[in-house]
């Protein structure tokens, strides 16, 4: 008898949940793990200071978030997706086919840093040196060969004579995408032969520029940046690749390497001097505004000066804000829910 009633209860629960799924009074956010710390901070603040429920934020990665976001309109689909890169044309098309109108909000920048333990000297690298150290194939005497460099000093005599050992994110990560695009491609372009290739065959160029060596010099250390920092402390000779907010929080243990002579500091990333930085975004589903309560208010909270400006609380979380003029324009278009067109 007891078992019977348990089964009945379970079935009743199922039936109940089916009705519960048809209404939602809570914003759902998915997307990039890089934007996650900022999005969650705003969500928490929003839940505390407004009469709405605290939004639920999932960290699915930029690509995964877009997939969920563009799958349709309706309460079972998320309202907002975060991205550590701009929406791709293919994703925009997919969203359009599902009848979704998107509002794009650029929230600020994130620097990608190469850092090592403070127990060792600070490195100063150029993009070309980064490319030489990490690419799968490098041009030597005009010909593409498998990366022969084992020591930093083989790349440039000014660099220490230590083994090349870099811990970084796996290919699924947005940080890796951005790093490859900004640092590696930037380095590849400096070779004449590769620059020519870029003009004649873009695909072939990308294959070379985006190919990271697999002979053990580059170690895929997983998506957990804290883990990379721990490994850097244990191994002072290794270099790690991760987001600026982690450098900021661990400034007592690790130091960022200069890239093209520029140190990765808040100011240098904010004014664009530091070359390896990317923009962060979130995208709002316009069709859900007014259906799921609180979306417009959430966007207003996110774009409030007390949130995303230099004096805002997101700066404490490691966000590098947009310049004043851009921020004003972006805030206006976000709160007006301007539809994105590509």
Partner 1 sequence: MTEMTASAAPFRRPDLSEAHLRRRYSAERRFKAYGIFAIAAATAMLLVLLSSIVAKGYTAFSQTYIALDIALDADRIDPSGDQDPQVLRKVKYQPLAKAALRDRFPEVSGRRDKRALSKLISGSADVTLRKFVMANPDTIGTTQTIWVKASDEIDSLRKGHVDRGAQESDRLVSDQALEWFDHLETDGAVDLRFNTTFFTAGDSREPEQAGIWGATVGSFLMLIVTLALSFPVGVLSAVYLEEFAPKNRWTDFIEVNINNLAAVPSIVFGLLGLAVFLNFFGLPRSAPLAGGMVLALMTLPTIIIAARAALKAVPPSIREAALGVGASKLQTVTHHVLPLAMPGVLTGTILGSARALGETAPLLMIGMVAFIVDIPGGFTDPATALPVQIYLWADSPERAFVEKTSAAIIVLLGFLIMMNAIAVLLRKRFERRW
Task: Give the nearest distance from C-beta 243 to partner 1 in angstroms.
Answer: 8
Q: Hey, what long-range contacts does 155-164 have (CB within 8 A, 24 or more apart)?
A: 155/129, 156/129, 159/123, 159/125, 159/129, 160/121, 160/123, 162/237, 163/217, 163/237, 164/133, 164/134, 164/217
Give the containing element (helix H, strand E) for 64.
helix 62-69
47 vs 186 by CB, closer to partner 1 = 47
166, 231 Cβ separation under 8 angstroms: no
Task: Give the nearest distance from C-beta 256 to partner 1 in angstroms.
Answer: 13
37 vs 96 by CB, closer to partner 1 = 37
Would residue 6 be called left, alpha or beta, if left means φ above 0 and alpha means ψ between -120 and 50 degrees? Answer: alpha
Tokens of residue 159, six digits: 């660099």
Write a three-state SS string for 94-143. Answer: HHHHCCCCEEEEEEEEEEEEEEEECCCCCCEECHHHHHHHHECEEEECCE
33 vs 81 by CB, closer to partner 1 = 33
167, 226 Cβ separation under 8 angstroms: no
Q: Which of 82, 57, 40 is nearest to 307 (CA)?
A: 40
Q: Under the rule (CB under 8 A), what is the footprint of partner 1?
A: 3, 6-7, 9-10, 13-14, 16-18, 20-21, 24, 26, 28, 33, 36-37, 39-41, 43-44, 47-48, 53-54, 56-59, 76, 118, 223-226, 245-246, 248-253, 311, 313, 317-318
5 vs 90 by CB, closer to partner 1 = 5
40 vs 116 by CB, closer to partner 1 = 40
Task: Give the nearest distance from C-beta 105 to partner 1 in angstroms.
Answer: 19
Task: Give the nearest distance from C-beta 246 to partner 1 in angstroms.
Answer: 5
20 vs 89 by CB, closer to partner 1 = 20
45 vs 147 by CB, closer to partner 1 = 45
Task: Give the nearest distance from C-beta 27 to partner 1 in angstroms.
Answer: 11
90, 70 Cβ separation under 8 angstroms: no
Q: Work out the number of other CB atoms within 10 angstroms of the CB of residue 88.
A: 14
């Amino acid at each position: 008898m007891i078992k019977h009633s348990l089964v009945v209860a379970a079935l009743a629960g199922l039936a109940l949940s089916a009705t519960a799924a048809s209404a939602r009074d809570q914003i759902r956010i998915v997307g990039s793990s890089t934007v996650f710390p900022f999005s969650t901070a705003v969500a928490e603040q929003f839940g505390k200071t407004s009469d709405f429920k605290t939004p639920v934020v999932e960290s699915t990665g930029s690509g995964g978030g877009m997939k969920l976001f563009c799958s349709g309109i309706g309460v079972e689909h998320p309202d907002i997706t975060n991205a550590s890169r701009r929406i791709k044309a293919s994703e925009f098309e997919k969203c359009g086919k599902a009848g979704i109108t998107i509002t794009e909000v650029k929230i600020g920048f994130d620097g990608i840093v190469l850092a090592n333990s403070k127990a060792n000297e600070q490195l100063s690298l150029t993009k070309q040196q980064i490319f030489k150290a990490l690419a799968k194939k490098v041009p030597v005497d005009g010909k593409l060969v498998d990366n022969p460099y084992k020591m930093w000093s083989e790349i440039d005599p000014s660099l220490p004579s230590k083994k090349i050992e870099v811990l970084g994110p796996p290919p699924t990560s947005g940080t890796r995408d951005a790093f490859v695009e900004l640092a590696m491609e930037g380095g590849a372009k400096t070779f004449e032969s590769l620059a020519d290739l870029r003009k004649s065959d873009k695909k072939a160029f990308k294959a070379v520029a985006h190919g990271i060596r697999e002979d053990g010099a580059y170690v895929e250390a997983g998506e957990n940046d804290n883990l990379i920092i721990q490994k850097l402390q244990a191994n002072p000779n290794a270099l790690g690749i991760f987001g600026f907010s982690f450098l900021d929080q661990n400034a007592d243990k690790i130091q960022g390497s200069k890239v093209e002579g520029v140190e990765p500091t808040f100011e240098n990333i904010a004014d664009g001097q530091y070359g390896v930085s990317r923009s962060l975004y979130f995208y709002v589903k316009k069709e859900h505004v007014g259906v799921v309560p609180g979306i417009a208010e959430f966007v207003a909270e996110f774009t409030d000066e007390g949130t995303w400006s230099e004096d805002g609380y997101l700066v404490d979380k490691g966000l590098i804000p947009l310049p004043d003029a851009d921020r004003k324009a972006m805030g206006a278009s976000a709160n007006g829910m301007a539809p994105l067109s590509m």
